[in-house]
Amino acid sequence: MTTEPNPSPDPNSNEEVSSEEEPLLITDEMLTDHPERGRADFESGMSSFPPLTLILIALNIAVFVWQINTGSLLSKDAIIASGALERSHLFRGELWRLFSPMFLHGSLDHLIGNCFALYVMGIACEHALRFKQFGIVYFFSGFCGSLLSVMVQPGPSVGASGAIFGLMAFIVVFLYKYQKTFFIRDRRIGFVIAAWGLLTIVFGFLSPYIDNFAHIGGAIGGAIAILFQKPFLLTKVHRS
Q: Which domain holds residue 133?
A: 47-239
Q: Residue 38's pLDDT is what?
A: 64
In a domain, 3, yes or no: no
In a domain, 20, yes or no: no
In a domain, 217, yes or no: yes
146 included as an active-site residue: no
Residuewise pLDDT in 10s, the chain (240 residues): 444 444 454 545 444 444 455 555 545 554 444 555 566 667 777 788 999 999 999 999 999 999 999 999 999 999 999 999 999 999 999 999 999 999 999 999 999 999 999 999 999 899 888 889 999 999 999 999 999 999 999 989 999 999 999 999 998 888 888 877 776 766 667 677 777 778 877 777 777 778 899 999 999 999 999 888 777 777 765 555
Q: The domain that contains 100 carries what CATH number? A: 1.20.1540.10
34 included as an active-site residue: no
Q: Residue 17's pLDDT is what?
A: 45
In a domain, 183, yes or no: yes
Give the DSSP letter string of 150-218: HHH----B--SHHHHHHHHHHHHHHHHHTTTTEE-SSTTHHHHHHHHHHHHHHHHTT-TTS-HHHHHHH
Number of domains in the chain: 1
Q: Residue 204's pLDDT is what?
A: 74
Give this prediction's pTM. Answer: 0.78
Q: Residue 215's pLDDT is what?
A: 94
Q: Of these residues, 18, 157, 215, 238, which one is catalytic? A: 215
In a domain, 19, yes or no: no
Among the listed residues 221, 27, 226, 32, the one whose alpha carbon sits nearest the alpha carbon of residue 125: 226
Q: Of these residues, 8, 149, 161, 207, which one is catalytic? A: 161
In a domain, 5, yes or no: no
In a domain, 69, yes or no: yes
